Amino acid sequence: MQMTYAEAIRDAMRVELKRDPKVYLAGEDIGVFGGCFGVTAGLLDEFGPKRIVDTPISENFIVGHAVGSSACGLRPIVEIMFNDFIAVCFDEMCNQAAKVRYMFGGKADVGMVLRMPIGAGIGAAAQHSQSLEGLLTHIPGLISVIPSTPADAKGLLISAIRDDNPVIFYEHKQMYGMPGEVPEGDYTIPIGKADIKREGSDVTIVTWSWMVQKSLAAAEKLAAEGINAEVLDPRTLIPLDKEAILKSVAKTGKLVIVHEEVKTSGFGGEIAAIVSEEGFDYLDAPIKRVAAPDTPIPFSPALEQAYIPSEEKIIEAVKALF
């Protein structure tokens, strides 16, 4: 059935709230207000205040309590209103959530999900618009999920809620209203499995989140000029489906990596390194990256649009390989 990206996320949470009494939601304004972007609207009325919990404005408490409750057997889905605020709870994620299962020899699981909106384009300025998905991929023990379609959002979120490890679930603000066909009921997608959003033979574009939509639009324009681009969406950054990426590059011989986070130390650099180390012989041209500039995100609408990677920049990067 047709759902928006936000509705698909809500539907995934509803499925799990009904299935498992240990699942609950917590975060700022997720109950009465329905969430900053309306994603949790209606769930308080349906499941009550013991399952849909409005918290204080304290990100370190939100994440810290989830670590403790999940280690005690509950299944919290907690929301940080903007991914920019993850810096407030780095200790809870990096030194607690990521390490509990390892340090206790598997006797304690941290089966929690941390939902975070990412991305620019709504005029929210430098402290509420970043894409920081690469930041926590450096910490072993954390899973990073970053869906680009409503169906992927639902299937991956249900899988994330059922996982026994801490999962960071990134949702791009620009996609909340994007519609798509979504399977009804209990529907899962395996974590760590990439998806080819568009088959192609001339160049591989590896991209995720909102940039998948921009890359698909760029690929259609390139096709009109005789360049057949394959668009591969890893869907999860950790674990990363390296085999799917290498297989695609082996087919096309060329690689462009597109992401909205800044270029320096962005996760695209990790993908480029993997392909260089494990698939160098497949390449017929240098690897190209299209990313945001290394600057805070401007509030000015014109400058903000210039900051966000565009279809034109993707097309320019692809053409430079031929």
Q: If pLDDT is split at 50, 70 and 90, which confidence band does 306 have?
A: very high
% residues pLDDT > 90 (the chain): 99
- Pair (164, 292) in one structural domain: no
| Segments forming the whole domain that contains residue 290 | 195-319
| pLDDT tens, position by position, 23-66 | 999 999 999 999 999 999 999 999 999 999 999 999 999 999 99
- Pair (140, 7) in one structural domain: yes
Single residue among 121, 156, 181 that ends a domain in this structure: 181
Active site residues per annotation: 128
Single residue among 148, 181, 214 that ends a domain in this structure: 181
Residue 173: which CATH number? 3.40.50.970
In a domain, 29, yes or no: yes
pLDDT(106) > 90: no
Range of weakest confidence among 103-107, 213-217, 221-225, 236-240: 103-107
In a domain, 187, yes or no: no
In a domain, 105, yes or no: yes
CA 56 – CA 34 distance, rounded (Å): 15
pLDDT of residue 292: 97
- Pair (127, 34) in one structural domain: yes
Residue 226: which CATH number? 3.40.50.920
pLDDT(253) > 90: yes
Single residue among 146, 181, 216 that ends a domain in this structure: 181
- Please give the tally of structural domains in the chain: 2
Instruction: Report DSSP letters for 16-71, one per residue.
Output: HHHH-TTEEEEETT-SSS--TTSTTTTHHHHH-TTTEEE--S-HHHHHHHHHHHHH
- Pair (206, 120) in one structural domain: no
pLDDT, the chain, mean? 96
| pLDDT tens, position by position, 147-187 | 999 999 999 999 999 999 999 999 999 999 999 999 999 99
- Pair (76, 10) in one structural domain: yes
pTM of this prediction?
0.96
